[in-house]
Chain A
Amino acid sequence: MKLAILGAGDVGRSVADLAGEYGHDVVALADSTTATVDDDGIDIAGALERKAGDEALGSSEPDDVFDADYDVLVEATPTTLDDAEPGFSHVTRALEADRHVVLANKGPVAERYEELRALEADSAGSIRFEATVGGAIPVLSTIEDSTPQAVTAARGVLNGTANFILTRMAAEGLDYEHVLAEAQDLGVAEADPTFDVDGTDAALKFVILANVLADGGFSLEDATVEGIQNIPGSALDLAAEDGRTIRLIGEATRDGVRVGPRLVPENGPLAVTGTRNIVQIETRNAGSLHSSGRGAGGPETATAVLSDVGRLPPL
Chain B
Amino acid sequence: MAAVSDDPVDEDEAETDGGVRAYTVRLELVDEPGELLRALSPIANNGGNLLSIHHERGNITPRGHIPVEVDLESPPDRFDGIVDALRDAGVNVIQAGAEHYGEEISVVLVGNLVERDLSNTLSRIEDEADAVVRDLSLAAPDGTDAVSSARIRLAIDSGRSDAALEAIRAIGSEKELTVVEPLLGGDSA
Residue ranges of A at the interface with B (Cβ–Cβ < 8 Å): 153, 155, 226, 230-235, 237-239, 241-242, 244, 246, 249, 251, 260-265, 268-270, 280, 282, 287-288
Contact = CB atoms under 8 A, between A and B. Distances in A.
A239 B108 contact: yes
Contacts of B149: 232, 234-235, 237-238
Contacts of A239: 108, 151, 180
A299 to B, nearest CB: 30
Interface residues of B, number: 25
B180 A261 contact: yes
A241 B139 CA distance: 11
Sorted nearest first, the 3 A-B pairs with minimum C-beta distance are A234-B139, A238-B151, A235-B149
A268 B184 CA distance: 13
Given A234-B148, A238-B14, A242-B151, A263 B181 contact: yes
A237 B139 contact: yes
B108 A263 contact: yes
Contacts of A153: 185-186
B137 A231 contact: no
A270 B188 contact: yes
A136 B186 CA distance: 23
Contact of B185 (A155, A233, A235, A260): A155
Interface of B: 14, 106-108, 110-111, 137, 139-141, 147-151, 153, 178, 180-183, 185-188
Given A232-B147, A238-B139, A263-B108, A269 B187 contact: yes
A262 B185 contact: no
A155 B139 contact: no
A75 to B, nearest CB: 32
30 contacts: A153-B186, A155-B185, A230-B110, A230-B111, A231-B180, A232-B110, A232-B147, A232-B149, A234-B14, A235-B108, A235-B149, A237-B149, A238-B108, A238-B137, A238-B149, A239-B151, A241-B14, A242-B151, A244-B106, A244-B182, A261-B178, A261-B180, A262-B182, A263-B182, A264-B182, A265-B188, A269-B188, A270-B183, A282-B185, A288-B186
A230 B176 CA distance: 11
A310 B21 CA distance: 59
Contacts of A241: 14, 137, 151
Contacts of B147: 232
Given A232-B149, A238-B108, A269-B188, 17 more contacts: A153-B186, A155-B185, A230-B110, A232-B141, A235-B110, A235-B139, A235-B149, A237-B139, A238-B150, A241-B151, A244-B106, A249-B183, A261-B180, A263-B107, A263-B108, A263-B180, A270-B188
